[in-house]
Amino acid sequence: MKKLVVLLFLIAPQVFAQADLASHEAQLKTALFAVENARSSRPDLCSPRSVRADTLFLVKDRDWTSGFFPGNLWLMYELTGKDFWKDKALENTMHLEHIKNYGGTHDLGFMMYCSFGNALRLTNDASLKPVLVQAAKTLSGRFDEKIGLIRSWDHNSNSWKYPVIIDNMMNLELLFWASKETNDPQFREIAITHAQNTIKHHYRPDGSSFHVVSYDPATGLPEKKNTHQGFSDASAWARGQAWGLYGYTMTYRETGQKEFLDQAVKIGHFLINHPRTPADLIPYWDYDDPAIPHVPRDVSAAAIMASALLELGTFDIPEAPQFLAYGKALIKSIQASYLSPVSTNLGFITDHSTGHLPAKHEIDTPIVYADYYYLEALTRLQKLDK
């Protein structure tokens, strides 16, 4: 595996190419046209999520994926510097402003930080800050002090009393930002406590993670450890492992606490050395599906992993060169075989992601968050090149 990573890196150390960027712009323009056309008759629809049955599947603003499309537009603005993308990004971002008060989900980090967070980062428009601060306050309302974790879902109450999913690590960045912006340590304390308890209860000795851990509110202790989107309770669902890698890399960046760096490195080792990783590095949807290799891949997991490794590889750790090489090799592999040809796939940039195989939807199809983390990885590559 290590030899393959080095080989891919040496063949094409410069994986970011202007030709690719031009095709990505063309795809996003196709998506913009499709979205604006759909909104003309369905103004309640907000953002494209995926392709289902050869049809563009759009979601309302309360869907957990609603922030990724405006995020994609902001990332394209960052990559190109073109005001066209800035204007379209701001227009699509403002659709989500009222979500700052929506307390029915833990995914406000995805929804608001990918949209408004990128908007603030790239424009420095101070009028955007109160929106993000309120979103952080709303998210904090889902934290239970006795359990020490932010509740993920309010549904499936017949199965789980207080479910927490590994994906929730991704929403902590909003809280870290809010703590710095407001000088309120509570946001930061909630995020750190959540991250520490996730290490304690979600992770196995080999560095892999359960998807769902449910807690008993009476005791504050775990009652069940399950999966919802993976192959089995004991399996390593690929995107879940990628969420954890990214989440702990980000948490170390925000805190400087070694326990979070150690966790990110441990997850990184689990992923880049996994014996069931395919030759082109794009993971199967679940590392433990017994039907491997005759199962779908998940480009979204690969893109999240690549973006995380391209940051983890900048830290002062012995594994940094290996992590950077692997991150670049993942992007090279996506570019070689997993991009949508221009004018296909209704404007999505990447293809062959898997959303929820057990529920039999979004299987081997374009998905918006795969595009987001792929584009984010390109921005990180661009900065590394400079």
Q: Report d(CA 194, CA 364) in Å as an integer.
A: 32
Q: Is 316 exposed, middle or buried (0-12, 13-18, 19+ CB in 10 A)?
A: exposed
Q: Given the residues 20, 61, 63, 107, select the one marked as catalytic.
A: 107
Backbone angles phi, psi at 256, to 5 degrees: 70, 10
Separation in Å, CA 153 to CA 58, 362, 368: 22, 20, 21
Q: How far apart are CA 121 and CA 117, in angstroms?
A: 6
Distances (CA, A) of 182 to 102, 128, 283, 330: 20, 14, 40, 37
Quote the Cα angle for 97-115-371, to 5°. 140
Are 322 and 1 in contact, with CB atoms under 8 Å apart? Answer: no
167 assigned to active site: yes
Among 284, 311, 288, which Cα is nearest to 298's? Answer: 284
- List the one residue out of 308, 227, 314 whose CA is nearest residue 272: 308
The reply to whether 107 belongs to the active site is yes
Annotated catalytic residue: which of 54, 61, 167, 371? 167
Give phi and psi for 382, each to the nearest 5. -60, -45
Q: Report, as residue numbers or ranges, the catalytic residues.
A: 107, 167
